[in-house]
Amino acid sequence: MTVLTYGTLGIVAAVVLSLCLFIFSRRKVRADGRSRNLVVASTAAPFLGLGWLVAALLIHVQISNKLAHQDCGLSGDPYVTLPNGYVLGSHNTYDGYFRAPGFETDVPMAGPGYVRSIIDLQLKGDYFVGTQFDFKTSAVRPFVFDTRTREFHVVATDNLADATNSSDLDRWAAAETSAHNDSDSYWVMYAQYRKHWPNYVMFSLIVVGEAGIVLGLWRLWRRPRALIP
């Protein structure tokens, strides 16, 4: 939805700017007899700039996924790769999970090499220690996961946090929503290990590409009439 919204705004902006440049360039051609190539270049420049933005975004996605091993920042399924090779993420920004290298999340909520429905999470040595929403009891339960053996253990406790008296899905949604504000939330670990250099690369690509387009158009407008065929 974010890409669709900004994409629509970008197209509208490109159309408006292209129309303005078309009008101004035609006046320039009529005023001093310049080539109609100026009109073509001026009209096409905004769409060329928009195309470069799309290309830079696609490059950013590949760099994020293939080199940084994380989502691009616009995904509905954000994830990062931890130093131990485990992937930490959140399906549709809910259903927090982590999984071992080479494993995929599935059902039930904890299986070979993965744990889903996590709320809070800490990495202590070779162990993931956190809390998980248990659909059988509609409560949040503590757990420990050994990254070496990939064994999952529920920690026995008499103090299970019960979110509300509503349905399991409502309780799960409430727990996942509150996780955004928890000091030990898995989102804290997600932010801690998220790499930012792919954003700098994308920003540099955009600046260089767009500046090149603007500079080329400006030089075309400033070129003496005698040099324009």
- Range name among 79-83, 123-127, 193-197, 222-226 with the lowest pLDDT average: 222-226
Q: Residues 159, 161, 164, 169: is their CA dihedral positive or negative?
A: negative
State in Å, rounded, how far the first CA of the chain is from the last one: 46
pLDDT for res 34: 64
Average pLDDT in the chain: 87
118 and 190 Cβ atoms separated by less than 8 Å: no
pLDDT tens column, 106-131: 988 999 899 999 999 999 999 999 99
pLDDT for res 158: 56
pLDDT band, very low/low/confident/very high, at 174 (cuts 50, 70, 90) = confident
pLDDT for res 46: 94
pLDDT band, very low/low/confident/very high, at 197 (cuts 50, 70, 90) = very high
pLDDT for res 157: 63
What's 94's DSSP letter? -
53 and 6 Cβ atoms separated by less than 8 Å: no
pLDDT tens column, 66-81: 999 999 988 889 999 9
- Range name among 1-10, 48-57, 73-82, 162-171 with the lowest pLDDT average: 162-171
- Range name among 1-10, 62-71, 89-98, 182-191 with the lowest pLDDT average: 1-10
Alpha-carbon distance values, 125 to 59, 103, 118, 162 (Å): 35, 21, 19, 29
Q: Indicate the length of the chain as a whole number.
A: 229
Q: How far apart are CA 103 and CA 83, in angstroms?
A: 16
pLDDT tens column, 7-39: 889 899 999 999 999 998 888 777 776 677 888
Q: Long-range contacts for 166-174 (Cβ within 8 Å, ≥24 apart)? A: 168/135, 168/138, 171/133, 171/138, 172/94, 172/117, 172/133, 172/135, 173/94
